Structure 1
């Protein structure tokens, strides 16, 4: 079904988070040199931008999928055809690559000569900009504009979709029907709240408001905790998973 196709695409991005960040972070912890090359740092930032941007677009696509499923259930198989779903996912990846290319180029065209020490556990954009000894106003503006356009456009689609879903659910007369309709959206709403909450705090700020120590903690949450929690959140919709979890809890207590 389209829903599980989108969830599998989201899981692919979550795996990328771990693949992009965890190996280099572990190498930094165990290595005595704690060095990352200029090219590797640029590649890590580029791939990380793709993963973050792709997740924004996919969460918006999944909100649209829920909108069609609840507000136009009879037309759902026609609208959300296999071809259209593949186009939505491919379009999300393409836009992610475009965004990542623009941001990475604007960051690494700067002269990074203030220091060669990145005060972070991976090559994220704000700590790299701190290394620049040239004017970063253009890079800051590009970064802030891209992040604002991305978050605003995707959040607007999510918000409009859920307003329409809320109106449709309100029209359902039976309480059971309303609960069933809402349960199909609960996991997605949880994922959206976690992802956009932490991401907006991190990137929708000027560099003057950047705090290294605070953002390290937040980075751990959205780069490691959220990818780990997403499969659990979406799996709880599955009856077999819920029953297995219930049996496990019953054994413990």
Structure 2
């Protein structure tokens, strides 16, 4: 590749921007794979992304025959991407003709499709592994040291970008959950006060009445609380289908 430094700079800039609400990991994986294909031609790169639990969710291949091989690797549960993702050391031009012991089903299948060697890189940052990259090279071709270093830079930026976006999404999700919990608490407290006044009961009993209604009618407590505050559920509505012994209210108070 001519002007490799300029290409690498452009690729890294292209892959660096992952702090976006519309970020899509599958689309990003295609972009990373396309960039690696430009760099490593005639080698054929493929990429697998896994979730936090290690389950592969996205698989991208730069060519059809490599796509077939990645599908077989998933079926065989053996092969270079699998080894790389599960803590194996990175490979550089590992000869597939000598890999039958390591990958007894994968290696013959790869050779049958015209590949002679394989290189791998894990998408790893410290203890976090988000996937792996494998590069299959045809007979007569190998990946050079310069190409491996450039590909390593691309993979490193991609790994960092994916992890940062996942942390951002987790943070946003946690913030939303906390806000929802706070809003729910406020609604329920307001509803307790309203029901306590309407029925002339202590706030604790008002809460029991709201919760019991929600359970009987298979409704979220928040929805019941909001309806009680808005007046869509009167005090009578909340206790109408209770047994007589549960309808007691304070002397002189009438459900409203």
Alignment TM-score, normalising by the size of structure 2 = 0.19
Structure with the bigger percentage of strand: 2
Larger radius of gyration: 2
Alignment TM-score, normalising by the size of structure 1 = 0.19
Q: Which has the higher contact order (CA 8 A, sep 6+)?
A: 1
Structure with the bigger percentage of helix: 1
